[in-house]
Amino acid sequence: MPIPAATQPDLSPMTAHPTADPNSDEAQDRAGGAAVPFWAGWSTRTRLILVVLAIDLFAALVSCGVIVLTARQAVQVEMAASLATVEPLVADTIRSLRSPSPESVLHTLDLRFQALRHVRVAILDADGRRVGFGPSEQGREQRRAPRWFVRLIAPEPRQHDLPILVRGERIGTAAITTQPLDEIEEVWGYARSLSLASLILNLAVLAALYLALGRILRPLGRLAEGLTRLERHDYTAHLDPPASRELSVIAERFNRVAGALAEARAANGRLNRQLLTAQDDERARIALELHDEFGPCLFALEANAASVARLAASPGEIDRGRLAARAGDIGSIVGQVQVLNRDLLNRLRPHGLGEVPLADCLSLLLRDFQRRHPETVFEGAFEGLARGYGDIVDLTVFRCIQESSTNAVRHGGARHVRARVAEETDAAGVTILRLSVEDDGTGIAPGHRVGLGLSGMRERVEALGGHLGLAAASLDNDTSGTVVRITLPIEPERDGSEVPPPPAAPQLK
């Protein structure tokens, strides 16, 4: 559908480039010298309207080509038909005259040929002089079609001289010249009307498209505002679902993402508070142990040291028996301090983790639990494990078994605890560690609260992309209990083939 260039709507306000974000990918591409299309900053509405305009222009060119080709063929057909009509018309005119004298025949033919279309006929007498007014003196109306249009359609002019014979004698000549302007002006009038109608229709379509796109794309503006709010950590952003089904799905997904981010932020806040509480609790426990365990030992050491000093400073012979007893007391207290120190250091940082195989560290952990809780049986199955899976994974496995065993004894009153760790490969070919800790304690109480230990385990596991589950279970058929199941994916660079870390400084034994 043709649209003259002079009447096309001015879209310059719409094509203005928005303020560029210096951190955007587009700005970085420009800074890096990458080629950026000139339309990169245009709005979606502008691009769609320009696409429609391009389609209209292409359709207009095709329409003009079809009109020109069709008009050229039609003009040629009309010219041929008009030339074929002139000769029979001359014969019929001569036959229709009762007394055909040369002058009457020539004048009659001149008058009759003025009504012909697509050809111009000049009547010449026997001497070659023009009879009547001729084709150029008839007051032809001014041509309306422009010259460029005429040059596109008009065929090469053809001229034919037809002799005029009366009773076998030539009395003159009819000079016939093709004249396609009549047909071309008809085609021009049709093309102009079609162009005007197409222009009006296209302007109406563009106006409707501009308004429709503004209405359709308005939710995208609200989506951009919502994303800006999310970028500013305002997770209360909410989008009302628009009428469009596709945009409604986007709005629904946006609201879900905003809700998930709000929940994650609240969970992070709770975790931060729990971490602060856990740090304070751990410091309080360490301070209590230092006061209750190390304090008496240090006081006893001080008392025995003072007694040794008094025995050494007493006059007379030194009582070697009493001195040996005090030395034995000091050695016993030092041994107790070493045990307390090793337990405290092992709780702060598991001794040997990363230096010896993981299975040995876990076995030592259960052996230590057995020593401290002789009334409970601790079993472990750690066959088939690699030497280590990386410091973070090893420490997570160690802490999860440590915390689960502590909960089984402290809160469940368990008499039997079984820990298992196995390396497996799932259906997708990913290596995973399956960890389970089962006990025969009192089980999970209804409405139990998640403590700091369990929440800390869950955060550790989920930070590594794993999963933690807590359920009721039993090691036998007579008692209830609890089972903690954990799965941890193992990254390739964290398998047992990695280079072990350098050994730590030696601990006091």
Q: Lowest mean pLDDT: which of 1-15, 249-263, 327-341, 442-456?
A: 1-15
User: Between these two residues, 480 and 251, which has the higher pLDDT value?
Assistant: 251
More confident residue, 28 or 380: 380
Tens digit of each residue's pLDDT (9 = 90 or more) over 463-500: 888 999 988 776 655 567 889 999 999 875 444 444 44
Q: What value does the mean pLDDT of the chain take?
A: 77
107-111, 325-329, 426-430: segment of lowest average pLDDT: 107-111
Comparing C-alpha atoms, which of 146, 142, 149, 87 is closest to residue 119? 87
Of 87-96, 135-144, 190-199, the range with the highest mean pLDDT is 190-199
pLDDT digits (tens, 9 = 90+) for 153-188: 777 777 777 787 777 777 778 777 777 777 788 888
Lowest-confidence segment of 74-88, 108-122, 371-385 by average pLDDT:
108-122
Share of the chain above pLDDT 70, in %: 79
* Phi, psi dihedrals of residue 97, rounded to the nearest 5°: -85, 135
Per-residue model confidence (pLDDT) at position 437: 93
Distance CA 94, CA 504 (A): 131
Tell whether the model's pLDDT for residue 34 goes beyond 90: no
Retrieve residue 488's tokens. Answer: 């941890």
DSSP-H helix ranges across 2-101: 25-31, 44-96
* Count of other CB atoms within 10 angstroms of residue 420: 16
Q: Which of 109, 130, 126, 129 is nearest to 169 (CA)?
A: 126
pLDDT of residue 475: 61
Q: What is the pTM of this model?
A: 0.45
What is the pLDDT at residue 433?
A: 92
